[in-house]
A and B are shown apart, each in its own frame.
Chain A
């Protein structure tokens, strides 16, 4: 638990850092959509160059992006190996039972690996260059049109901010309860599966009780300070679109056209 890094934002003043968080969030969604257009080495090369250019513009070392890949390396290798040994077609190099090592399997395995890495690089770029609170603001602005169908946009935005604020607090609380239960003899990492399941209950129940007490205290404090719902509240952080955001939009349109042409 204590190895976990909360928020991976690296402060900076690069072109990517200065972009509006809405642009970065929407661009990340869009990128994952257009990556499906890539189906040959030329299209993957274009996507790779585009992603590396975006990383270079963030002025963050490539090593940080590899750190984003590392926790998923076994999942990536497992998926690539499935692809390599179960795809058939082209020249067959090796065959044993249900496993086949073929030309298409190797090519597809490489494409899947590159696709995995590119998606992780792009989502890492978003989280490394955008503070979590700015991301919560971006989500609020994106949800804003739903206000017209009576969706509680302001309440949802407040929920996001409260949840973000309490993640570190609840992580500390969990650690504290785990240590308290360890001191009473509970062993979370030893014993049969059944014993481990049973050891989870003395962790979860105190955690829920203390969390709900916190939620009650917070609600009382909010109402005591006059909170009456989100409608009409002013904002501390105001988001504004800039010319750079329009350039990013344009670059994604150009990228989409290139991918469609090269397919």
Chain B
């Protein structure tokens, strides 16, 4: 974690720059897909965010999240299923930052993956995003929390499983930034 916080202020080489740009584009593309049943829908966009953290650490992943949020808004007019709002941009930053904190540099053990997804779920999805929705539309707290807790209790294990499968496959294929 110390490496993640201090080591992620790495110098940006041309290769790192292009990898990060492509991952930002993937964040937008995957964010437009969704899978699951009619009851639970999961978008794989979070995998690109997690990969930014996995390869570049918390600060770059957070920054890339902000830029992707702005780009996505520029391309589609909506971001993350709602109109543009700076609060949600901050959520994207914190999400990328947390993934970087746990997964950088290229860690893919299950404990770190579980912790990363759980922290993002609790701090970003249940905490910050609920706050923004409440601020924007004054929806009652109790109702919002109730709905979000149920949804995230189902989605978080799915995200852990997908992220685990993807990151471990990346490790097996030696898809490393320093290859």
Q: Could you tell me if B36 and A28 are in contact, using CB atoms closer than 8 angstroms?
A: no
- Residues of A175-233 contacting chain B, CB below 8 A: 188, 193, 196-198, 200-201, 204-205, 207-209, 211-212, 214-216, 218-219, 222-223, 227
Interface centre among B15, B51, B63 (most CB of A within 10 A): B15
Distance, CA A120 to CA B82, complexed state (A): 9
- Residues of B74-93 contacting chain A, CB below 8 A: 74-78, 81-86
Of B103-111, B117-125, B136-144, the stretch lying at the interface with chain A is B136-144
Q: Could you tell me if B12 and A152 are in contact, using CB atoms closer than 8 angstroms?
A: yes
Query: A132's contact among B74, B78, B82, B140, by CB below 8 Å, is which?
Result: B74
Nearest Cβ on chain B to A114's Cβ, whole angstroms:
11
Interface centre among B75, B82, B170 (most CB of A within 10 A): B75
In the complex, whether B70 has a CB less than 8 A from a CB of chain A is yes
Q: Could you tell me if B33 and A219 are in contact, using CB atoms closer than 8 angstroms?
A: no
In the complex, whether B25 has a CB less than 8 A from a CB of chain A is yes
Interface centre among A130, A198, A211, A227 (most CB of B within 10 A): A211
Nearest Cβ on chain B to A5's Cβ, whole angstroms:
8
Q: Could you tell me if A200 and B19 are in contact, using CB atoms closer than 8 angstroms?
A: no
In the complex, whether B21 has a CB less than 8 A from a CB of chain A is yes
| A to B contact number (C-beta, < 8 Å) | 190
Find the B residue at minimum CB distance from A29. B86
Asked whether A204 and B15 contact (CB < 8 A) given A86-B143, A123-B83, the answer is no
Query: B161's contact among A160, A197, A205, A208, by CB below 8 Å, is which?
Result: A197
Contacts of B6 in A (CB 8 A): none
Contacts of A214 in B (CB 8 A): 22
Query: A72's contact among B22, B35, B63, B78, by CB below 8 Å, is which?
Result: B78
Distance, CA A216 to CA B21, complexed state (A): 11
- Residues of B8-29 contacting chain A, CB below 8 A: 12-15, 17-26, 28-29
Q: Which interface class (under 10, 10 to 19, 20 to 34, 35 or more) fits B?
A: 35 or more
Of A49-57, A75-83, A247-255, the stretch lying at the interface with chain B is A75-83
In the complex, whether A141 has a CB less than 8 A from a CB of chain B is no
Nearest Cβ on chain B to A151's Cβ, whole angstroms:
9
In the complex, whether A43 has a CB less than 8 A from a CB of chain B is no
Query: A108's contact among B32, B36, B138, by CB below 8 Å, is which?
Result: B138
Contacts of A200 in B (CB 8 A): 35, 44, 162
Distance, CA A1 to CA B32, complexed state (A): 8
Contacts of A171 in B (CB 8 A): 29, 32
In the complex, whether A159 has a CB less than 8 A from a CB of chain B is yes
In the complex, whether B5 has a CB less than 8 A from a CB of chain A is no
Of A12-20, A89-97, A161-169, A236-244, the stretch lying at the interface with chain B is A161-169
Distance, CA A155 to CA B26, complexed state (A): 18
Q: Could you tell me if A28 and B21 are in contact, using CB atoms closer than 8 angstroms?
A: no
Asked whether A218 and B18 contact (CB < 8 A) given A115-B137, A163-B24, A167-B28, the answer is yes
Nearest Cβ on chain B to A26's Cβ, whole angstroms:
12
Contacts of B13 in A (CB 8 A): 219
In the complex, whether B149 has a CB less than 8 A from a CB of chain A is no
Q: Could you tell me if B137 and A79 are in contact, using CB atoms closer than 8 angstroms?
A: yes
Q: Could you tell me if B14 and A223 are in contact, using CB atoms closer than 8 angstroms?
A: yes
Q: Could you tell me if B17 and A158 are in contact, using CB atoms closer than 8 angstroms?
A: yes
In the A-B complex, the 4 residue pairs with the smallest Cβ-Cβ separation, listed nearest first, are A162-B21, A135-B74, A163-B24, A166-B25
Given A139-B70, A162-B17, A166-B25, 4 extra CB contacts under 8 A: A29-B86, A120-B77, A171-B32, A205-B173
